Each structure stands twice: as C-alpha cells, then as structure tokens.
Structure 1
Amino acid sequence: MNKQISFKEAVTILTLMLAVLGWGVIGFGLSPQIPVLTVIALLIFWLQIRGFEWEEVMKGISQGISTAIVPIFIFLLIGTLIAVWIQAGIIPSLMVLGFHLISSHFFVPSVFMVCSLVGLAIGSGFTTVSTVGIALFGMGSTLGINPALTVGAIISGAVFGDKMSPLSDSTNLASAVAETDLFDHIKNMMWSTIPAFIGSLLFFFFLGQSNKATSLAGIAAVESSLRQHFSVSFWAALPIILMFACAWKKVPAIQTLFVNIFLSVAMIFVQNPGFKMQKLATLIESGYVSNSGNKT
C-alpha cells in the first residue's frame, strides 16, 4: 500500500473492532454474521477517510480471503466427515468399543490421553474434537461423567496434540513466521508444553475420581440402541486406520479428508444397498439427524 498506518493507530482500530464484535455478540446476543459485516463496513469506511484507494482496499480484502480459503474448506470437509462417520457407524462403533475398554474411574484421564495421541497423529485439534471427541463425549454422558469435565479433557488433549504435531497448520505457520526449523520449534515448545501436559493429566486423574458411573443397565441400553440403528463392527476401524496412515505419510489435510470421506461413503452403500443419493446429499448438506428415540 502507498499509505502507512502507525502501530498505535492499528492497535486502536483493532481494539474498537473487537469492542464492536463483543458488543454485538455478547451484549445483544446477535449471531456473529451481523457484527462481522458491521465491522467490515466500518473498517472500509475508515480506510476511505484515511485516503486509501478503493483498489488498495479490494486488494487487501482479496489477500485476506485467500489466506482463509483453505481453513474454511477444511472446516466444510470436517462437517461432511462427521456426518458420514456417524451414518457409516464409525463413531457409534468407537463408543461401543469404549464401553468395553475404558473404566469409568479412569475415563477422564483416558479421554485426555486418547485425544492427545489422535491430535498428535493427524495434526488437527478441530478434527480430533469433531470425530473422536464426539464419540468420547457420548460415552462420558452415558457413564454419568460431568459433561464439562469430559469436554475439558477432550479439548485439552486435542489442543496439545495439535500444538506438538509436525502436521499442524498452526505449528508450521509459527515456525515459518519465526524463520526456524519446524522440529527445532517443536522441541522448544516442549519446555512449556510437557509440564502443562503432565499437570493436566494429574488434574484430570484426581478430579475424575469424584465421578460415579451410571448403572450397567443404562450402558447396556445405549449400546443396544447403537447396535440397533447403526452398523457396529470392526470394519469401522478402516477409516481411522486410513487417517493415521495418511498422517504418517504426511498427506495434506484436504486430501486426507477427501479420501476418508470417499471410503466412509462407500461403507454406507455397502451396509445399506438401498441408500439413495438424495439422502446422501442431504446428509452432507445438513449433517446427521438421529431418529433412534434415545436422547442419550
């Protein structure tokens, strides 16, 4: 740009933008779209007052959008992945397996460890929360674990795995901005991240002891409902193995998600030969809607 903005002015404008966003979303309870559009309009108006040419403003908008395109595309694919994973019985199968493997007394620290390992392998905290996290949350609800504690363990583990993964977009971006080697960057983060990991694990271990499991009859009822409405089998492990294999081979996130979605869709049609393409389109567009009648 031809014109320069001082650091003080930039901080002032950023503070005002955040204030407008917070005022709209928190103060008035509006959906984020309206405050965001308001901030964009005010920002463009301010740039015009400062004497910036319209071409410069449009160039800045284009650059900002181009930076966000890939993350937005990944978010869309993750939404599709969640829907087809549920329909194909992958997440229900994880829940059923977890009922037999994880003790309720050690459930919370187990959730933290599992999400940490998955996040570390695939390099995406959002994907971890949206796939394995959903299954673990459903298990926690059935076992009578405090939902807030379960969510805390899921998100904490996913964030740790994402932060320390060489496949993470944010970790790669940070090392690129700092102009340092990726693995040197990860090693330096360990000085603060490893103590935080150990402290969190101990925290979830002791805090999770105060929870009591629900009756075995309640777990059996949920498991029966899952088996009745979904295809629960060891074949559900295929997409998960594929995701870990892609992570091991350092396949980019978009390709990994596409391949996993195609495999999951193929499993849906194998399990339900009469499954209609229209229903698949609705599943991808609107997500999975349960009709099991079981609120848990």
Structure 2
Amino acid sequence: MTQEVPALMEGIILLIFSAALVGCILSDTSILVALTAGLILFFFYGLKKGHSLREMLRFSSDGLRTTRNILITLALVGVLTALWRLSGTIPFIVYHAAQFCHPSVILLASFLLCCLISVLMGTSFGSAATIGVICMTIANSMGIPPIYSGGAILAGVYFGDRCSPISTSALLVATLTGTDIFKNIAAMIKTAAIPFLATAVIYYALGLQLGTDTDTPAAPAVFALFFNLHWLTLLPALLVLLLALFRIEVKHIMLCSIAAAAVIALTVQHMSIQEIFYAAVFGFHPDAPDLAALLRGGGILSMVRVLSIICISSCYAGIFSGTGFLTNSQRHITRLSRHITPFGGILVTSILTGLISCNQTLAIILTRQLCQDAEPDAGRMAIHLENTAVVVTPLIPWSIACSVVLAVISAPSAAVLLACYLYLIPLWNYAVEWHKHSRRHSLASPDVD
C-alpha cells in the first residue's frame, strides 16, 4: 500500500502537467508557462516526499550543471546563424542551389538542400527559416501541393538537427550519455543510410508524378541584389565541415566560423562593426521587406526561448533523479524492453514523452532517464535516442519541433504524413534490432526433438 500512494501521486502530477501542456497549446500560450508550472509541481512533490529545500535546490542545480556546455553552445549557434546571414554564406548557397531546381525534382531537391543547410547550421528552426522558406516558395510557384513540399522540408531540416556537429540535440544526447559526439555522428550516419536512400527514392518518385512544366522562379535572385555573392562567402560553412573532419571541439569550430563570417561581412559585404555586433546579439533584420521575409533571424536573443526550455528541462532531470520520481515507470519500461528489445522500449517511451512534453529537449531527457536500465550501454543509448526521441518529436503536430517548422514555411499540419525520413529511421532500426533479438533468442533456445 505504501508503494501505491507515491505511484498514485506521481500519476496525478503527470496528469496535471499534461493538462497544463495541452492547455498552453490550445490557448496559444507559451509552452514555458506549462514547463514552469511542472517544475513547481515536481519541486513540491520532492518536498512532500521528505526532501529538504536545500536538497531540492541541489537536485535542480545538478540537472542544470549537466547542460552548461549546451547553453554556451546555443548562444554561439545564435551568433553563427546571424553572421552567416549577414556575411552572405546562406544567400550564396541558396542562390546557386536554386538554379538547379526543376519541378520534377523539387521535392528531392528540397529534402537534400534542407539536409545540407541543417548540417551546416545545426538548427532545424534556422534551416526552416532560410532554405525551407525558399524551397516552399519555389514549390508553391510550381504548383506542388504544400503537403508534399512541407513534408520534404520537415524531414530535411531534422537531418542535420540529428547529426550535425553543432546540433543542440546531438550535443544534448552526447552530454546526457557521456559519449563523444563525433563517434555518435559516425554511428548515426551508418544507422540512417538506408532510410536516407529510401526517402530520396520516394521523393524522386513523387516528384515525377507531381512535376509540371512551370519554370523555376527568380525568388532567390533577391539575394543577388543585396549581397556580393563572392565564393569567399562560402568559407564559414566550409570551415565547419573541414574542422569537423579533424574532430575539433564544437565550440572552437563555431568560434572559427563566426570569426570568418565577421571578417567576410566586414570586407566583402562592407558591413560596419556596429552592424555585426548588433546582428550577433539581436539577429539579422534587414530593412528591405523582400529580403527580410526570406532571411531575417539568428542572434543570441533568438535562442533565449530554447535556452529557457533547456534550463527548466534539465532541472526536471535533476529532480527526477534525486527524488526517484520515475522509478516505478522505469521498472515497467525495463520489463517491456525485454520483450520488444531495448530499442523498442526506448521507441515506445520516446513517443509517450514526446506526446506529453511537446518539446524535443524534454523528450530526450525523459526518455534517457526512463530507459537507462533498459539500455545501460552509453554508446548504444546515445544512438537509440538519436533514432527515436530526436526524430519522433517532430512528427507530433502539437509539439514545438513540428509546429514551429510548419508555421515558418506555411505548410499544413498534414505535411507530417510525408516527412518520410523521420518515420523510416525508427522503423528501419527497430526492424534491425528485432532481427538481432530474434536470432539471439533462437540461438539461445534451440529446437528440441
């Protein structure tokens, strides 16, 4: 009976928290309101369970401490995305890539371009706001239904969010599991190769069915009017790729790219030092309406909301760990994982945490905590998280990971149905893990005559 009371209380608290999240979504209120309310609920749960105020504060700070590196990196991401706009790096890539778009390959091109930019930028929102908007504009002018182009763009912007060396979710997974991000990226590429190729084939086949004879529009030509599209503007992006090959620390990679972008903005684009500093903090906000509609964004302030979500979510992690809030749930998940494989248990958990949390960060943190007994190997846990929580949350229409991207590119919610890459990764990897599990089981239990 004594164990049933805490379990009942935990269930009630989770229901209240879930109701707060749903209420914020339905009323178009910031998700931070629900997350703050949840933090208060979980904090008082710990006090009710007998922990002192000092202990609860320590649990919270312990959770915060684990994400300190991510918070610094996020601030650098804000600066990086702003200066890549200001220096002409993003306009250069978009301008030249758009020249090769044809109606029959626009879906495939949108997916691949979004994959490329998301790897370079490490942020799905930033990719959606740049190349995603361009691809959607081109697709719309060609008469491609937004449900198709929106699905291709949604899938593409999360390609790099999953495996870019400057991706905040990849950094979060590496930090939580204590693993090396570059080893994780190598494993992510291996486990996503088949889903990636299958997705490319699907979008190519769909494009052949949907393609028209409409000419490629001149929307990206706006960049040529406002920027000097010299090849040097590509240098900040090339530095990210080159230094990543040598496994330089991510913060140092971004600092080098930021420095290069600042020099190019100063010399090639003839921006002032004041404009560069302003963009680094507040983002790039050009006066020209046409350019602003395509390229505005970035800056440290653009990351404040994400920083706040990560801070609150990391406090959850510390409280859950210190108070044992998820102990009962962990036991059920561990038992389930024995039957459907550890990956299957993590996949089911990531779907549930994504439905409840409505944001990618908390889904990753909760899934890792709930499943740490089901998969004790840190390396495998890191890859399983990347192949579940990171890609599942963007498929939930009311989650921030999905709704923000679709809102930015003006695509309908139904576009999630055609974000093929995000479906194929967990399905393919579960099939692989289940095959291995079945073979081990058959070898361990030979037929008896």
The two structures have a TM-score, normalised by structure 2, of 0.53
**Aligned equivalents of 2:21, 2:264: Cα separation in 1:** 44
Q: Which residue of 2 aligns with 1:130?
A: 126
Give 1:38's aligned amino acid: A
User: Among residues 227, 231, 240, which one is paired with 1:230 in the alignment?
Assistant: 227
Q: Which residue of 1 aligns with 2:109?
A: 110
**Aligned equivalents of 2:23, 2:158: Cα separation in 1:** 28
Structure 1 pair 228–283 and aligned structure 2 pair: CA distance change class (3 A): same
Displacement after TM superposition at 1:91 (Å) = 1.0
Q: Which residue of 2 aligns with 1:26?
A: 25
Q: Which residue of 1 aligns with 2:71?
A: 72
**Aligned equivalents of 1:146, 1:156: Cα separation in 2:** 16
Q: Which residue of 2 aligns with 1:267?
A: 264
Residue 153 in structure 1 maps to residue 149 in structure 2:
no
Q: Which residue of 1 aligns with 2:389?
A: none
Displacement after TM superposition at 1:19 (Å) = 0.7
Give 1:67's aligned amino acid: T
Structure 1 pair 128–233 and aligned structure 2 pair: CA distance change class (3 A): farther
- Backbone CA RMSD of aligned residues: 3.8
**Aligned equivalents of 2:272, 2:129: Cα separation in 1:** 29
Q: Which residue of 2 aligns with 1:90?
A: 89
Structure 1 pair 31–158 and aligned structure 2 pair: CA distance change class (3 A): closer
**Helix, strand or coil at the partner of 1:290:** coil
Q: Is the 8 A contact 2:67 2:172 kept in 1?
A: no
Q: Is the 8 A contact 2:114 2:132 kept in 1?
A: no
Q: Which residue of 2 aligns with 1:290?
A: 286
Give 1:259's aligned amino acid: C
User: Among residues 168, 171, 177, which one is paired with 1:169 in the alignment?
Assistant: 171
Structure 1 pair 17–246 and aligned structure 2 pair: CA distance change class (3 A): farther
Q: Is the 8 A contact 2:115 2:157 kept in 1?
A: yes
Structure 1 pair 231–13 and aligned structure 2 pair: CA distance change class (3 A): farther
Displacement after TM superposition at 1:267 (Å) = 0.5
Structure 2: unaligned runs, 5 residues or longer: 295-449
**Helix, strand or coil at the partner of 1:225:** helix
Q: Which residue of 2 aligns with 1:241?
A: 238
Give the fraction of aligned pairs with identical amino acids, expressed as a percent. 17
Displacement after TM superposition at 1:239 (Å) = 1.1
Structure 1 pair 86–64 and aligned structure 2 pair: CA distance change class (3 A): same
The two structures have a TM-score, normalised by structure 1, of 0.77
Displacement after TM superposition at 1:251 (Å) = 1.5
Displacement after TM superposition at 1:49 (Å) = 1.5
**Aligned equivalents of 1:118, 1:223: Cα separation in 2:** 15
**Aligned equivalents of 1:135, 1:285: Cα separation in 2:** 22
Structure 1: unaligned runs, 5 residues or longer: none
Segment of structure 1 superposing worse, 98-107 or 231-240: 98-107
Deviations 1:126-157 (A, max 9, x none): 43662597235314413535555444334424
Structure 1 pair 10–243 and aligned structure 2 pair: CA distance change class (3 A): farther
Q: Which residue of 2 aligns with 1:276?
A: 272
Deviations 1:244-282 (A, max 9, x none): 101101122221111111110111110244x33332232
Structure 1 pair 207–186 and aligned structure 2 pair: CA distance change class (3 A): same
Deviations 1:218-246 (A, max 9, x none): 41xx3442111112121122111111101
Structure 1 pair 91–196 and aligned structure 2 pair: CA distance change class (3 A): same
Structure 1 pair 186–195 and aligned structure 2 pair: CA distance change class (3 A): same
Q: How many pairs were matched up? A: 282
**Aligned equivalents of 2:79, 2:90: Cα separation in 1:** 14
Structure 1 pair 72–175 and aligned structure 2 pair: CA distance change class (3 A): closer
**Aligned equivalents of 1:266, 1:247: Cα separation in 2:** 21
